[in-house]
């Protein structure tokens, strides 16, 4: 359906309302592979307001990570338009508009935890004294105070991922882009980190884009759930999800929670996510 055309650079949209932190219009991305073109993203339309917590959910191959990478300017769309903070993703990246959290903690093994959090600050030319105070502040934020001098291998997987969140927050970006950050962790650690992330979000008021393939995780965390489906990667449905700001894990037993989780599951089914 998508015609493979020359790849124009995504246009910035000066007329986008400034309220929308992310604005995606008719965006498509086709990967050229040896087996022919793959429609990774097809006709994506999405608007994200400042301060929202938006989850992308869907099975493997639905393009949720690709969409996140397009927002982060780590992939270039084939067609369509996207603006991030009213700029092109490239400009936004150059202005350091977002902190990115990968599937793995991706800490540099030769740097201490403090050194890893210092990394973006060094790259951005933050003076040494201020670096020290920001490291301390952000370690505090993710409950890792006192671990500054440890090396990554001395920490558990969950602690490493918290350190990588502290690193993403250290330069105080407007946005946090998270690509299945807790996917590799066990469920007990994951529940705990979900609660902590929610508190962090409430405290920092950042816009968070969160890629996941866990329905409870998406419903628990989000204000908006983007249900995606594969082949071609597209948005099937966008579900509003507002369970109040004071959420604890107990909320997952409530009828409201189960109702939204059910809608997400139905959305995934109608998007053929459960087909063989």
Give me the least distance between CB of 120 and another protein, in Å please.
5
Written as six digits, the tokens of 111 are 């740097």
Using the rule CB under 8 A, which residue among 14, 153, 205, 255 binds another protein? 153
Which one, 119 or 238, has the nearer CB to another protein? 119
The values of phi and psi at residue 211, to 5°, are: -95, 135
Cβ 102 to another protein shortest distance, Å: 5
Residue 87 in contact with residue 174, Cβ under 8 Å?
A: no
Distance CA 268, CA 132 (A): 45
The reply to whether 31 sits near another protein by the rule CB under 8 A is no
Could you tell me the strand order of the sheet in which 98-101 lies? Answer: 98-101, 175-179, 207-212, 53-57, 224-229, 234-240
Smallest separation (angstroms) from another protein to the CB of 104? 6
Q: Is 124 in the site for another protein (CB under 8 A)?
A: yes
Select from 91, 99, 147 the least CA-distant residue to 119: 99
Q: Is 126 in the site for another protein (CB under 8 A)?
A: no
CB-nearer residue toward another protein: 82 or 239: 82
From 13, 119, 136, 189, residue interacting with another protein (rule: CB under 8 A): 119
Asked if 258 is part of the footprint of another protein (rule: CB under 8 A), the reply reads no
Q: Which of 17, 26, 108, 259 binds another protein (CB under 8 A)?
A: 108
Q: In angstroms, rounded to a whole number, what is the distance separating the alpha carbons of residues 169 and 33? A: 35
Nearest CA among 100, 97, 19 for reference residue 65: 100
Chain-centroid distance of CA 103 in Å reads 10
Contact residue for another protein among 12, 112, 160, 229 (CB under 8 A):
112
- Tokens 């989780």 locate to 261
Options 96, 213, 247, 265; binder of another protein; rule CB under 8 A: 96
Asked whether position 123 contacts another protein by CB under 8 A, the answer is: yes
- Other beta carbons less than 10 A from residue 144's beta carbon: 21
Residue span binding another protein (CB under 8 A) among the ranges 25-33, 104-112, 136-144, 262-270: 104-112
Phi and psi dihedrals of 161, rounded to 5? -70, -35
Is residue 220 a contact residue for another protein (CB under 8 A)? Answer: no
In the bound state with another protein, the residue whose beta carbon lies nearer, of 206 and 263, is 206
Residue among 11, 17, 94, 156 that touches another protein (CB under 8 A)? 94
Contact between 99 and another protein (CB under 8 A)? Answer: yes
Q: Which residues of 168-193 are buried (b: 16+ CB within 10 A; e: fewer)?
A: bbbbebbbbbbbbbbeebeeebbbbb
Interaction site with another protein (CB under 8 A): 72-74, 93-94, 96, 98-100, 102-104, 106, 108-112, 119-120, 122-124, 151, 153, 171
């Amino acid at each position: 359906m998508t015609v493979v055309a020359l790849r124009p650079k995504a246009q910035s949209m000066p007329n986008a309302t400034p309220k929308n932190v992310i604005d995606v219009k008719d965006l498509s991305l086709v990967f050229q592979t040896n087996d022919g073109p793959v429609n990774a993203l097809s006709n994506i339309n999405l608007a994200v307001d400042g301060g929202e917590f938006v989850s992308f959910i869907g099975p493997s191959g639905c393009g949720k990570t690709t969409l996140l990478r397009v927002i982060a300017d780590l992939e270039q769309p084939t067609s369509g338009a996207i603006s991030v903070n009213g700029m092109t993703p490239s400009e936004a990246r150059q202005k350091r508009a977002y902190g990115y959290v990968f599937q793995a903690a991706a800490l540099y093994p030769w740097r201490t935890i403090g050194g890893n959090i210092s990394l973006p600050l060094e790259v951005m030319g933050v003076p040494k004294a201020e670096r020290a105070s920001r490291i301390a502040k952000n370690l505090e934020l993710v409950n890792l105070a006192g671990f500054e001098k440890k090396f990554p291998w001395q920490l558990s997987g969950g602690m490493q991922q918290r350190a990588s969140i502290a690193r993403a927050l250290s330069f105080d970006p407007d946005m946090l882009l998270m690509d299945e950050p807790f996917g590799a962790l066990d469920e007990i650690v994951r529940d705990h980190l979900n609660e902590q992330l929610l508190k962090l979000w409430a405290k920092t008021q950042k816009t968070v884009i969160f890629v996941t393939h866990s329905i409870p995780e998406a419903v628990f965390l989000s204000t908006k759930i983007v249900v995606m489906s594969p082949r071609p990667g597209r948005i099937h449905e966008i579900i509003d999800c507002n369970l109040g700001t004071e959420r604890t894990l107990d909320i997952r037993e409530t009828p409201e929670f189960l109702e939204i989780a059910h809608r997400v599951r139905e959305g995934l089914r109608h998007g053929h996510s459960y087909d063989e």
